[in-house]
Amino acid sequence: MSERAFDIEKRSFEIIDTEVGKHDYDEFQWTIVRRVVHATADFEFATSNGRIIFHPRAIESAFAAIKNKCSIVTDVDMVLAALNKKSIGDLGLKAACYISDGRLADEARKAGKTRSQMAMRQAAKEIDGGIVVIGNAPTALYELMRMIKEDGISPLLVVGIPVGFVSAAEAKEELVKKSTPFITNSGRKGGSPAASSIMNAIMLLYQRQYSSV
């Protein structure tokens, strides 16, 4: 990052801190939330409408997954593309998204499922013990929750922040009832910038916490 870009980011964070004011996030949580606000210019991710919600073990579990050189599975290519490739490489992680696999359209049609659902199924091995980042497709989040319940798949973190008017809010409401560590938000807001920002912030936090990596 250039010095000029660093100064702009630093000033942006100062503006966010000032405008949000007092909040109930801890230091690590706020680092993540602030980066989402920075990426989206949407303060509702930090306030009552659409605010980001953390499972009590979300960051701890994410750090454990990263320590184990986990895979990061995304629901769409846009989330995958926005992940920090340098952090992924430096940490020895892998990232995958199967939504564009040419076979999925036929498989989804035959199964009466969406491509997002089938992409989650195809990533089952990477999801187990890994991190899942969902920014667009509520059906991917529903399928993931089914896999956890019925197939015994155990991701160490679910970033479930799909956007939309149909099923997005409802899928998140179901996620917060689960014991699997999660980061989500309330309501319809979400999307690729928010989802990728959460994952990028987690990787940066890990690197700062364990600077010898």
What is the token pair recorded at 33? 């939330």
55 carries an active-site annotation: no
Residue 3 has a pLDDT of 55
Relative to beta strand 182-185, strand 52-54 is antiparallel
Catalytic residue chosen out of the listed positions 34, 35, 38, 55:
38
What is the token pair recorded at 166? 């149909």
AA identity, residue 182? F
Contact 172, 162 (CB under 8 A): yes
| Alpha helix stretches (DSSP H) within the chain | 3-20, 27-40, 58-67, 77-82, 85-91, 102-111, 115-122, 124-127, 138-150, 168-175, 192-209
Contact 135, 82 (CB under 8 A): no
pLDDT < 50 regions, the chain = 213
Q: Give the C-alpha separation, 197 to 212, whole Å.
A: 23
Contact 155, 129 (CB under 8 A): yes
**What is the spatial order of strands in the sheet that 71-74 belongs to?**
52-54, 182-185, 157-160, 131-134, 71-74, 94-96
Q: Given the structure tokens 């994952």, which residue do they identify? A: 199
Domains of the chain: 3-209 (3.40.50.10230)
- Cα 136 from chain centre: 10
Closest among 142, 93, 100 to 122, alpha carbons compared: 100
Residue 109 has a pLDDT of 84
CA distances, 67 to each of 22, 79, 156 (Å): 32, 22, 11
Q: Give the C-alpha separation, 81 to 101, whole Å.
A: 16
